[in-house]
Amino acid sequence: MTSQAPIKVSRQEPLACSHEFSANCSDCRLNSICLPFSLESRDIEELDRIIQRGRPLQKGGHLYRQGDDFGSVYAVRSGTLKAYRMTDDGREQVTGFYFPGEIVGMDGISQSRHASSARALETSAVCEIPFSSLEKLSASMPQLQRHFFQLMSREITEDQQLITLLSKSSADARIAALLLSISMRNARRRLSATQFRLSMSRVDIGNYLGLTVETVSRVFTRLQKSEIVDVSNREIRILDEAALRQLTSGE
């Protein structure tokens, strides 16, 4: 609600160097992760034409809400988003975190309405990809069609990994897996795999991993004490990746 106030642009925090991504796909730093991957340059230009680059999303702002009409999927350009859905009894289940280069919103396709909400965890920017245009384009660009099938399939396998994590692993293993996942995704974007700042709160982490805040907090202090990870607030430094990896498969 509070975040719905008319956009106030003044004193906006510096958006992580704007040269990191550009106004078109061809020279976007993220294009090896995102949609255009493996397209011919002529095709990229066509894709470029359908993509809409919106104004930055404020921290806490919604990209879309559960139940909204589905029209587009979104590529994250900067910042972080979380996707979440409401359970029948009104609690929140975080279904994923989305970093630059990743695509969010694909769960809306089946019902023509969004099955989850997406909100920015920090000031973020996205590329909006109207789905109907994407469909049309896919029909004439086999590479694009395949790539999009693959993205959706990846989402499925990732959800299944989370399912496994939730159904089989201890609190320690879950946190370890999350840290490693973030680390890997950072590496893919050529950021540090060992040192980063969590953009999500402990509550969000708990909500994602099926744990309470208290447990999340306790696990972090435990990791700190055993010198596997250096934790200071949201600042994380992985000290012993091997140990972390061992934790994920139950000690």
Partner DNA sequence: GCCGTTTGTTGATGCAGGTCAAGTCTGCCG
Partner DNA sequence: CGGCAGACTTGACCTGCATCAACAAACGGC
By the 8 A CB rule, do 70 and 112 touch? Answer: yes
Decide if residue 184 touches a copy of itself (CB under 8 A): no
Interface map 166-205 toward DNA (x if CB under 7 A): ----xxx----------------------------xxx--
Q: Helix 171-188 to helix 241-248 angle, to the nearest 10 degrees?
A: 130
Q: How many residues bind a copy of itself (CB under 8 A)?
A: 46
| Residues whose CB falls within 8 Å of the CB of residue 144, separated by 6 or more in sequence, listed in order | 35, 39, 43, 47, 134, 137, 138
- A 10 A CB-CB count for 104 gives 23
Residue list 41-80, contact with a copy of itself (CB under 8 A):
none
Tell me the closest approach of the beta carbon of residue 171 to DNA, in angstroms.
4
By the 8 A CB rule, do 126 and 34 touch? Answer: no
| Residues whose CB falls within 8 Å of the CB of residue 12, separated by 6 or more in sequence, listed in order | 56, 123
Burial class (CB in 10 A: 0-12, 13-18, 19+), 170: middle
Span near a copy of itself by CB under 8 A; candidates 44-52, 151-159, 196-204, 231-239: 151-159
Q: Tell me, rounded to whole angstroms, the distance of Cα 96 from its chain centroid.
A: 6
Decide if residue 214 touches DNA (CB under 7 A): yes
Q: Which of 32, 52, 140, 212 binds DNA (CB under 7 A)?
A: 212
Question: Which of 50, 152 has the CB closer to a copy of itself?
Answer: 152
The binder of 221, among DNA, a copy of itself, none, by C-beta within 5 to 8 A per type, is DNA
Q: Tell me, rounded to whole angstroms, the distance of Cα 124 from its chain centroid.
A: 11
Decide if residue 61 touches DNA (CB under 7 A): no
Q: Which residues bind a copy of itself (CB under 8 A)?
A: 85, 87-89, 91, 93, 95, 106-111, 115-116, 135-136, 138-140, 142, 145-146, 148-157, 159-160, 162-164, 166-168, 209-210, 248-250
Q: Tell me which residues touch DNA (CB under 7 A).
A: 170-172, 201-203, 210-218, 220-221, 231, 233-234
